[in-house]
Amino acid sequence: MPSRLLGIVVLSLALVPLTGPSARGLSYTVRTIGSLGGPYSRARAVSRSGLVVGEAYTPAYVEHAFLSDGTAMVDLGTLGGQRSRAFDINSAGQIVGWASAADGKAKPALWRNGTIVELPGLGGPTGAAWGINDLGWAVGNAYVSTSVYHATLWDGVGVIDLGTLGGQYSIAYDINSHGWIAGSADDAWGNEWAVIWADGTIRNIGGLPGATWSTARGINDLGQVILWSNTTGGASHAGLWYDGRAIDLGTLGGKESWAYGINNRGAVVGWAELPEGYYHAFLYDGNRMHDLGTLGGLFSSAYGINDDGVVVGSAQSADGQWHAVMWLPVPEPSSFAVLAFGLGAAGARIRRRPRRGGP
């Protein structure tokens, strides 16, 4: 792996103006971050130093996990199969996701020091690693049989089944520096709920008012949790849970919103529907959502944000192509310390097949 990808992000492409308003009085610029030769790419996470991971099509229209320094992509390869995706990266440059093996089955994968390693499973055929913290602990889900999967922790020693709320299914999406894990689990009646695993216990944190299901999608070091939940009106909304209370982050004027990333300053990113039915990437700053715009097309989605406020995701260009992008605050992170989003201490169901807001 080229050593330049282990350094701080290089920002050399021309800036592209946003099509939406700036966030909290700060201007954002959006730029593409390379390709693997195919027509599609999506960025999933960004490290403290600005390294980006996600997936992109090769010239053969097969998706592969990538690592980018903000200007070019490196193909992370597979476990002998055709496909792979990268979902998260920690400050040491360790990357997690899934990769297909020679038998075509998706396996939980860890990339480190330029090599790929298959993480152990729970006895079933497939799995995926969704999040990793700076301790190198990874979380995700692994199948315990051909049809049942459980949230999983890889703690550097072994593999741990995190269990459920009494049902069959659970999944872990994120883990913070304290080892607190966010995800979802089914109860004995088959209802899926946002949960936190901490100190060996599982806690149902519920959802937004009127919810009949919820999923926790991320957690920061303050214990703030982003979630998806239905509302009293039935629509799926992004929510933020902290200290026993969940608040509705709203939308951009449409019906739905979904949260995917949160940083240690309480800033949340995801995508939300506009009145016209399109959806755009958003940044929630503790007060309201801000539209991060597109590359000139109709749609965009944000998936990750670091503590400098750098946002990553994917956006459509005017020709309808999807590109992995970075939204950069102006001034850029290299010229100021951090974004102060000021959330302070305030406070979609993932079906067995991914729904609209799913992976």
Give CA–CA dist 217/314, Å, rounded: 18
Q: Is 101 helix (H, G, I), strand (E, B) or coil?
A: strand
**What DSSP letter does each residue of 73-85 carry, written as one string?**
EEE---BEEEEEE
pLDDT of residue 332: 66
Determine the length of the chain. Answer: 359
Asked if 130 contacts 140 with a C-beta cutoff of 8 angstroms, the reply is: yes
List the beta bridge partners of residue 295: 317
Per-residue burial over 113-151, b = 16 or more CB atoms within 10 Å of its CB, e = otherwise: eeebeebebbebebbbbbbbbebebbbbbbbbeeeebbb
Give residue 154's pLDDT. Answer: 98
- Give the pairing of strands 192-198 and 181-187: antiparallel
Q: What is the pLDDT along the chain (359 residues), one digit of tens a residue?
A: 333 332 322 222 223 333 334 444 558 999 999 999 999 999 999 999 999 999 999 999 999 999 999 989 999 999 999 999 999 999 999 999 999 999 999 999 999 999 999 999 999 999 999 999 999 999 999 999 999 999 999 999 999 999 999 999 999 999 999 999 999 999 999 999 999 999 989 999 999 999 999 999 999 999 999 999 999 889 999 999 999 999 999 999 999 999 999 999 999 999 999 999 999 999 999 999 999 999 999 999 999 999 999 999 999 999 999 999 999 998 766 433 333 333 333 332 222 223 333 44
Top-tier CATH class for 16-335: mainly beta
> What backbone phi and psi angles, to 5 degrees, belong to 98?
-140, 155
- Rounded Cα distance between 320 and 296, Å, is 9
What is the model's pTM?
Answer: 0.87
Element (H, E) at 204: strand 201-206
Q: What is the pLDDT of residue 41?
A: 98
Instruction: Give me the pLDDT at residue 340, please.
Output: 36
- Segments making up each domain of the chain, as ranges: 16-335
Task: Tell me how far the alpha carbon of residue 18 is from its chain's centroid.
Answer: 22
The amino acid at 255: K
C-alpha count within 13 angstroms, C-beta hemisphere, residue 45: 25
Q: What angle do CA 265, 269, 275 make, to 5 degrees?
A: 140
- Residues facing 187 on adjacent strands: 165, 166
